[in-house]
Amino acid sequence: MSHSEKTHDIVVFETPAPYIARIVLNRDERRNAQDTHLLYALNDAFDRAARDDSVRVIILAANGPDFSSGHDLTEEKYLENWKAHPQVGTYCGFSCGGAEPIMTREKELYQGLSERWRNIPKPTIAAVQGRCIAGGLMLIWPCDLILAAETAQFRDNTLAMGISGVEYFCHPWEVGPRKAKEMLFTSDWLSAQDALRLGMVNHVVPADQLQDAALALASRIADKSPFALRLAKEAVNKCQDAQGRLTAQETAFAYHQLAHAHNMQVHGHPIDPSFMTTQFKK
């Protein structure tokens, strides 16, 4: 029997079938834009599923027409909101000046949580509908498998903001180096069919079948030994890490922070403010 409850108003925790947890982003009035509160609520839900021995597979889904419009750029008190939450990492920088507070917050909330979710010792499946933009990629890329609705679209438009890419930089591993460059340089959309061809998603299904398809796939996986699943996941992840994924990601994160610092000097804002009146409306 399916069971649903709101662990937080903005995240729903469900158990739609034996051995399966489904975590649902529930901020659809904001196209599931990620403010500080949503990201920590999502992390709490992932922790809950990871620690529950009755859960073998975790599905990440979202309510509304779009999976996620990315970071909530309208969150004005993002540093204050961050300070109000218990930190997952062991970072400092709350009261420091200069670039350190922004870098420390993004190290925790963006790169840190995404990497943490990637290494959950259980298979994870993202079920994506509608638009998945920039920060939205940082929710689905840590998942082991991705299912996309036929109408799903993916985009990293951070270069339009004067930034070199999202904080959790996985583009070359997700779509290959040349497509990664085109995706970044142009800020163009990637269709579900192109994402399937490039290997970024596992399956493309009709939109009205997305959740059923994710549940069916999760059920097939849940039949396997939980320990064997954990070991297989770690083995594949270690292959990527041996290729230098984490080192490259740390470098890209540093470039991202340099771009923020540059924009602060040039524009007085971490991103190019012209983005808010042009690309942000597209």
Can you list the domains of the chain with their CATH numbers?
3-281 (3.90.226.10)
Residue 15, H or E segment: strand 11-17
Round to whole Å and give the CA distance between 105 and 102.
5
Contact 167, 138 (CB under 8 A): yes
CA-based nearest residue to 165, from 99, 253, 101, 246: 253
Residues in Cβ contact with 119 at an 8 Å cutoff, skipping those fewer than 6 apart: 237
Give the rounded percent of residues in the chain with a pLDDT score beyond 70.
Answer: 91
- Residue 1 pLDDT > 60: no
- Residue 28 pLDDT > 60: yes
- Residue 144 pLDDT > 60: yes
- Residue 280 pLDDT > 50: no
Question: What's the rounded mean pLDDT across residues 6-17?
Answer: 87
Q: What is the pLDDT of residue 225?
A: 97
Round to whole Å and give the CA distance between 280 and 128.
21
C-alpha 39: how far from its chain's center?
Answer: 9
Instruction: Report the predicted TM-score, pTM, of the whole model to 2 decimal places.
Output: 0.93
**CA end-to-end distance (rounded Å), the chain:** 41
- Residue 279 pLDDT > 50: no
Band (pLDDT 50/70/90 cuts) for residue 78 is confident
Q: pLDDT higher for 273 or 275? A: 273
Band (pLDDT 50/70/90 cuts) for residue 97 is confident
Alpha-helical regions (H) of the chain: 36-51, 78-83, 100-106, 113-118, 137-140, 171-175, 177-186, 192-198, 210-222, 226-242, 245-267, 274-277
- Residue 88 pLDDT > 90: no
Q: Please, is 8 exposed, middle or buried when counting C-beta atoms within 10 Å of its C-beta (0-12, 13-18, 19+)?
A: middle
Contact 233, 144 (CB under 8 A): yes
Q: What is the pLDDT of residue 2?
A: 53
- Residue 203 pLDDT > 80: yes
Give the rounded percent of residues in the chain with a pLDDT score beyond 90.
Answer: 80
